[in-house]
Amino acid sequence: MRRSSLPPAARAGAGILGCLALLAAAAPLLAPRDPAEQLDAAESSRRPPLSSLLVVRTVDAEPRLAESVTVERGDLVLARRSGSLRVPLGSVTNYGDDGIEERRRNWLGTDALGRDVLSRLLHGARVSLTIGLLAAALALTAGTVVGACAAIGGRFVDQALMRAVDGLLCFPHLALVLLLAALYRPSTALLVLLIGGTGWMGLARLVRAEILRLREEPFALAAAAAGRSPAGVLVRHLLPNATTPLLVDASLRVGASILVESALSFLGLGVQPPQPSWGSMIADGQSHLTTAWWIAAFPGLMVAAAVLGSSLLADGLSDRLAGLRAGRRAPWAFRTWLGVDAAGSRR
Amino acid sequence: MIRFVLRRLLAAAVLFLIVLTLAFAAVALAPGDPLAPSDPRIPPEQAERLRALYGLDQPVPVQYVRWLGAVGLRWDWGQSYRTGQPVADVLFEALPPTLLLAGAALLAQYLLGIGLGLLAAFRPNSWLDLGVRVASLVVYALPTFWVGLMAVLVLAVGLGVAPAGGMTSAAAFELGPAAAALDVLAHLWLPALVLGLSMAGDIARYTRTSVIEFQATEAGRAARARGLSESRILLVHGLAHAAPRLLQLASVSAPLLLSGAVVAEVVFAWPGLGSATLLAIQSRDIPVVLAATAYGAVLVIAASLAADLLLARLDPRIRAE
């Protein structure tokens, strides 16, 4: 597909996702601090965005933080939330001519344990995007395999697979996902399996319908007449022509998977601490909502950006698809929270 | 029609049996012993007694048949490991609040969605239309629980226009029936709105496309040719055209709504099935978790069954299939 032919919505979506992926990949370089670092937690906890604290390093103890410092009779007096603290000036190692110059800026504030929200957001992006992409890839693979098997496997295989898909579509996924997440130790692999494994049914239907449609096209008939095996026709001719609708669905699936992951992590059943994830950061912020809104607010915006990016990309792609098939409108893709994608294609 | 209903009922029953079996298998195959995390000071003979009490000393297939029998014949889900209360009682108390919340959210989602969709369809490609389309993408992208937290922060804590959580006020027991209902309503509107918001976008988009599409059909052109007013064409005939698909959307959105209800209940401290399930999961109260899974399944299956039957009522082609 030529890049210039993508509609603006798709380009915006791809741009958002690309930026997020870049931020995630470069998280260790970009993050101002270690996402788990809790330096002087009592003093650094719940600091608002854009605030900063002075770092006072001494020979004998851990570095201490202070809002401001003054010198008083040979001591350095640290103005702290808990009152003032006197440290002998001689033991301070980073006191220079201009006083203490080392500052830690909390760009997006700090959480209740004094950890830097920005650093955690960047590292959390790696977890959330990885799970979203892998789950979507799993769903894409499973859906393509099942759909293709149903389409070319003959009447019996087709019936069996499609009835199974029907059943799974009205299956209460969340109940089972909650149950499994509760019983087994949540890990990235389990989350990918759970989220991807419950999200492929819509894709299977789509692939089957596309292949059944394309199979009757002249190019496919020609390939079959030229002696290519059914599997050969499928792989060389049918699937490549079904790429765009598959991409539309896969793109939606990335966003849906990120939403599911964030909800599971919010409930404490997803990514486990100390690994940061957007959902669990929101959960951390829930109990400090009134005193430190920034802990919960920013990760929610990140989730929204990622999901919006994938929706825009899918929308743009499906508009283009509709254009390609001039006259044949692409089915509106409706999404639900746990992977059902059906309203456009149910029966 | 009767054959159709019977076939659907049978399919629903089979699906429920499969869910039960899968849920049981998941628990039986899970690593760890339900009695293991308890106090290590429990003497072995005591642990054996507990094991026998809960039937855990039997082989797994026997446990399965017994469990299925108790559930199927007496709706007996056993006792909660945590409180010793019968599980069915625990969940029976949690069910009405969840149904209330999900029902109100369904209403909110359709009112909002259809309203905005029609608004956009009146002037396709206007600024209003673009606004509705963008808004529908944005509300889908926002995680429900996050919107809930922000709504609590701004509307409940900041502006004080809604209570911050719970289903009733602390003094609700002193109120008369009418005042008590109003009290519940005051607690209900915000969670229902938040929960309904995420799907409202999809419904708006669907209503918009469907109504615009209708105008190009023969029925739409005929309505215009008869001289009906623009608003009548859109509101009455266009909406009737969209109705079957909108109904189908309800069955698809049932699992969504229910899963959304779990997180919304946690955010708004709503005393429903979701809160009960999460508490059970956190305390590894397996009988309650199993039963809650099954209750969730029943709700979803019943919702999609109801939507299917209504749809068949609306569209004779489906019954004939």
**Amino acid B111: pLDDT:** 93
What pLDDT sits at residue A299? 94
A-chain residues within 8 Å CB-CB of B206? 332, 334, 343
Q: With 70 as the cut, is the pLDDT of residue A329 above it? A: no
Report the alpha-carbon angle A106-A107-A113, nearest 5.
40
| Residue A339 CA from chain centroid, whole number | 15
Contact at CB, B143 and A304, closer than 8 angstroms: yes
Contacts of A293 in chain B (CB under 8 A): 153
Q: Which pLDDT belongs to residue A308? A: 94
* Residue from A6, A65, A30, A17 nearest A311 by CA: A17
List own/partner pairs for B135-139 with CB under 8 A and 24 or more apart: B135/B201, B135/B204, B136/B200, B136/B201, B136/B202, B136/B204, B136/B205, B137/A308, B137/A311, B137/A312, B137/A315, B137/B201, B138/A304, B138/A308, B138/B201, B139/B197, B139/B198, B139/B200, B139/B201
- In terms of pTM, does the model score above 0.95? no
Q: Averaged over B268-291, what is the pLDDT?
A: 85
- Least confidently predicted of A85-94, A167-176, A266-275: A167-176
State the Cα–Cα distance between residues B84 and B90, nearest whole angstrom. 10
Q: Do A278 and A128 contact (CB within 8 A), yes or no?
A: yes
What does the block give as tokens for A156? 């019996």
User: Hey, which residues does A54 pair with through a beta bridge?
Assistant: A66, A103
DSSP state at residue A341: -
pLDDT above 90 for A309? yes
| Confidence at residue A343, expressed as pLDDT on a 0 to 100 scale | 34
State how far the Cα of A313 lies from the Cα of A327, in Å rounded to an integer.
Answer: 22
Q: Are A252 and A333 in contact (CB under 8 A)?
A: yes
Inform me whether the pLDDT recorded for A339 exceeds 60.
Answer: no
Nearest to A265 by CA among A341, A320, A188, A184: A188
Task: Identify all chain A residues contacting B210, using CB atoms and an 8 Å cutoff.
Answer: none
C-alpha–C-alpha distance, residues B91 and A195, integer Å: 27
Distance from CA of A252 to the nearest CA of B (A): 11
Chain length of chain B: 321
Q: What angle (nearest 5°) sits at the alpha carbon of residue B259, between those of residues A182 and A164?
A: 85
Q: Closest to A255 (Cβ–Cβ): which among B141, B301, B304?
A: B141
Using pLDDT thresholds of 50, 70 and 90, give the confidence band for residue A323: low
More reliable by pLDDT, B269 or B175: B269
pLDDT score, position B32:
64
**DSSP element (H, E) containing B172:** none
Please give the pLDDT value at position B168: 80
Measured distance CA(A225)–CA(B293) in Å, rounded: 52
Q: Which of B16, B24, B145, B210 to mutate to test the interface with A (most CBs of A within 10 A)?
A: B145
Asked if A311's CB is within 8 angstroms of B141's CB, the reply is yes
Collect all residues with Cβ–Cβ distance below 8 Å to B216 and sequence separation of at least 6: none
Q: Please state, as a whole number, how many other Cβ atoms lie within 10 Å of the Cβ of residue B17.
A: 12
Q: What is the pLDDT of residue B60?
A: 82
> Radius of gyration of chain B from Cα atoms?
24
| Residue of higher predicted confidence among A337 and A299 | A299
Over residues B190-233, the pLDDT tens digits come to 999 999 988 888 899 889 988 888 888 888 888 888 888 888 88
* Phi, psi values for residue B86, rounded to 5°: -60, 135
A179 vs B23, B157, B202: nearest CB: B23
pLDDT tens across A129-139, in order? Answer: 999 999 999 99
- pLDDT, chain A, mean: 83
Nearest-by-Cβ selection for A307 from B141, B145, B299: B141
- State which of A127-141, A306-320, B4-18, B155-169 shows the largest mean pLDDT: A127-141
In chain A, which among 169-228 make CB contacts under 8 A with chain B? 170-176, 178-184
Nearest CA in chain B to A335: B202
Please compute, for residue B175, the number of CA atoms within 13 A of its CA located in the half-sphere on the CB side. 13
Q: What DSSP designation does A98 have?
A: T
> Tens of pLDDT along A199-255?
888 889 889 988 888 888 888 888 888 888 888 888 888 888 888 888 888 898 999
pLDDT band of residue B39 (cuts 50, 70, 90) is low
Coil/strand/helix, residue A128? helix
Which one of A173, A179, A304 has the shortest CB-CB distance to B141?
A304
